[in-house]
Amino acid sequence: MSQVARVLCIVALVLAMTLNSTSRSSSIFEDGKLKPGIYKIQNLYAQTYLDIHEHSREVCCRPAKNLEQGKGLWEIKGFGTGYVVRRVDPGKPEQYCTLIDGLGDGTPLCVSTYPVAWRIEVAKDEEYRGYEYVRFFWGPTKRAWDLEGGGKNDGRKVQSYLDRWTVAWRIWKLIPIKVEGVSTPSSSPSETSSPGFPPSYDGVGRESERDEFGTVVTEVTTVTTRTRYRTGDT
């Protein structure tokens, strides 16, 4: 083998190792399971971040500029066949995401000292490809986390909603902050965007209406806007 060929082989090997390392370090999933760790949770549609109201148990979303230092951090780890989602807030009692007042549409997501298991599914719809994007569901049901109306204002409620339609405000981006073997994003939260998706998704897409157990009832092509769920706020 000539000297030039030998050098090219070494360069190719180094590049392959680098790409493999980058792939491993950027994946938050391993063998189909989400890696336990601390994440920021960002709504795909509004680009706001999961937090809680300081004077109540209710979970809400806030713009990055309104997040206090060290807030908006959530530990996600396995719990039975699902995952617990716990707010990271040293010095305070454990705060786990749950539903307290029922499962109906509009029921606010709250925090409690009692952990419950959420089902986390990768968002596989054509419009939302990517393993950082997920939906959260209550156990085996199709009751999903829903940002009320897709509103971008500070303190917007996160609620339970039957996932009949594919809408961007029920899609959440998991941003690793402290996850073993995963690189922390170099950009600040306010600079973190959704690759391949507009910051505010208003477009023509496929919507599948499902029943309580996830069976597709109807499937139509429609213009997806937040008007259908609008509550009067922007």
Provide long-range contacts, Cβ within 8 A and 24+ apart, for 113-119. 115/79, 115/84, 115/86, 116/79, 116/84, 117/79, 117/80, 117/81, 117/82, 117/83, 117/84, 118/82, 118/83, 118/84, 118/85, 119/81, 119/82, 119/83
pLDDT value for 200: 35
Q: Which residue has the higher pLDDT, 232 or 190?
A: 190
Query: If you average pLDDT over residues 154-167, what whole number do you get?
Result: 92
pLDDT value for 91: 81
Instruction: Assess contact for 200 and 45: CB atoms under 8 A.
Output: yes
Query: Could you give the CA distance from residue 130 to residue 200 in angstroms, rounded to a whole number?
Result: 17
In DSSP terms, which residues pair with 50 in a beta bridge?
61
Query: If you average pLDDT over residues 159-183, what whole number do you get?
Result: 91
Reply yes or no on whether the pLDDT at 224 is more than 80.
no
Of 160, 150, 142, nearest in space to 58 by CA: 160
pLDDT tens digits along 35-84: 999 999 999 999 999 999 878 889 999 999 998 888 899 999 999 999 99
The verdict on domain 31-229 having CATH code 1.10.10.10 is: no
Tell me the average pLDDT of the chain.
76
| φ, ψ dihedrals at 115, nearest 5° | -75, 145
pLDDT value for 36: 96
Query: Could you give the CA distance from residue 163 to residue 174 in angstroms, rounded to a whole number?
Result: 19
pLDDT tens digits along 100-112: 888 899 999 999 9
Q: How confident is the model at residue 10 (pLDDT cuts 50, 70, 90)?
A: low
Q: Which residue has the higher pLDDT, 65 or 27?
A: 65
Instruction: Assess contact for 105 and 229: CB atoms under 8 A.
Output: no
Query: Could you give the CA distance from residue 118 to residue 97 in angstroms, rounded to a whole number?
Result: 9
- In the chain, which ranges are E strands? 29-30, 33-34, 37-43, 49-52, 59-62, 74-79, 82-87, 96-99, 109-112, 118-122, 133-138, 143-147, 156-162, 172-179, 203-210, 216-224
pTM attached to this predicted model: 0.71
Reply yes or no on whether the pLDDT at 192 is more than 50.
no
Query: If you average pLDDT over residues 118-127, what whole number do you get?
Result: 84
pLDDT value for 234: 34
| φ, ψ dihedrals at 132, nearest 5° | -90, -10
Instruction: Assess contact for 172 and 40: CB atoms under 8 A.
Output: no
Place of tokens 């109540």: 56
pLDDT value for 157: 95
pLDDT value for 169: 94
